């Protein structure tokens, strides 16, 4: 399979490494080679099975528009663009392209999502979320924290779920979900020690997406990997 990685930053460079290790052909472009999605033309995408995007929110939207308009396939790890998710899902479906996106491609966080749905079943508890990331992260709260909140609200609509964000050094991503009652407290915690977990999930997602038409969030299809 030929994978085109957009973004040679902290995560994109690991995606390229993991994809090569798994036997895929890899091309990678950073902003100088792909400003405003300039490299995502039909001739440039010929032969590319899946594009993987770990760039920045605005760039990711431009990249998705270009790839999906051509009926291509794109895995989007970039967060902070979800106000446009319906438009981009519709474009994927209209053009017969494939879109797979997720706030967190790590396998451990997928387990945190399902445990959070279980925790949210508790009655008479107050829920809160705390996240810590590196100081160069653009969006706050993190996309993962927002997904955790969405999962709790799906079980308990209308409750207040405060989210606290911290930006510290090179922190790779910590998320804590707390449930506190008058009598006790529970905590679910996930700490990413390395970015390789995100990269592996994104490459496995790309392998799954190749040749499919439609739009999916990673947690919907995670069980099929």
Tell me the catalytic residues. Answer: 133, 137
What is the C-alpha separation between 175 and 195, in angstroms, rounded? 15
- Other C-beta atoms within 10 Å of 152: how many? 21
Q: Which residues is 207 bridged to in the sheet? A: none
Q: How far is the CB of 188 from ligand NAD (least distance, A)?
A: 18
- Distance from C-alpha of 21 to C-alpha of 31, rounded to nearest angstrom: 24
Nearer to ligand NAD, 146 or 179 (CB): 146
* Pick 34 or 116: Cβ nearer ligand NAD: 34
The H or E element that residue 144 is part of is helix 143-155
Give the residue closest to ligand NAD by C-beta.
9
Q: In whole angstroms, what is the distance from residue 8 CA to residue 163 CA?
A: 30
For the bound state, the minimum distance from the C-beta of residue 213 to ligand NAD, rounded and expressed in Å, comes to 22
In the bound complex, what is the minimum distance in angstroms from residue 56's beta carbon to ligand NAD? 5
Q: 125 or 139: whose CB is closer to ligand NAD?
A: 139
Q: Which residue ranges make up the site for ligand NAD (CB under 6 A)?
A: 6-12, 29-31, 34-35, 54-56, 59, 77-80, 102-106, 137, 198
Q: Mapping DSSP to helix (H, G, I), strand (E, B) and coil, where does residue 74 land? A: strand
């Amino acid at each position: 399979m030929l994978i085109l990685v957009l973004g040679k930053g902290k995560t994109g460079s690991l995606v390229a490494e993991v994809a090569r290790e798994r036997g895929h052909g890899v091309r990678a472009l950073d902003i100088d080679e792909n400003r405003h999605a300039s490299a995502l033309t039909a001739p440039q995408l010929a032969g590319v099975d899946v594009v993987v995007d770990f760039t920045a929110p605005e760039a990711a939207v431009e990249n998705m528009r270009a790839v999906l308009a051509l009926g291509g396939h794109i895995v989007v790890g970039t967060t902070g663009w979800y106000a446009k998710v319906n438009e981009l899902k519709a474009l994927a479906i209209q053009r017969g392209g494939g879109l797979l996106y997720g706030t967190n491609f790590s396998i451990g966080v997928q387990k945190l999502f399902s445990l959070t749905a279980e925790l949210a079943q508790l009655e008479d508890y107050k829920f809160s979320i705390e996240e810590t990331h590196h100081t160069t992260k653009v969006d706050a709260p993190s996309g993962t924290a927002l997904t955790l909140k969405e999962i709790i609200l799906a079980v308990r609509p209308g409750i207040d779920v405060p989210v606290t964000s911290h930006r510290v050094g090179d922190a790779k991503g910590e998320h804590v979900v707390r449930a506190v009652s008058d009598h006790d407290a529970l905590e679910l915690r996930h700490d990413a020690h390395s970015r390789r977990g995100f990269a592996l999930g994104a490459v496995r997602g790309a392998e799954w997406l190749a040749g499919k038409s439609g739009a999916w969030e990673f947690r919907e299809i995670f069980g099929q990997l």
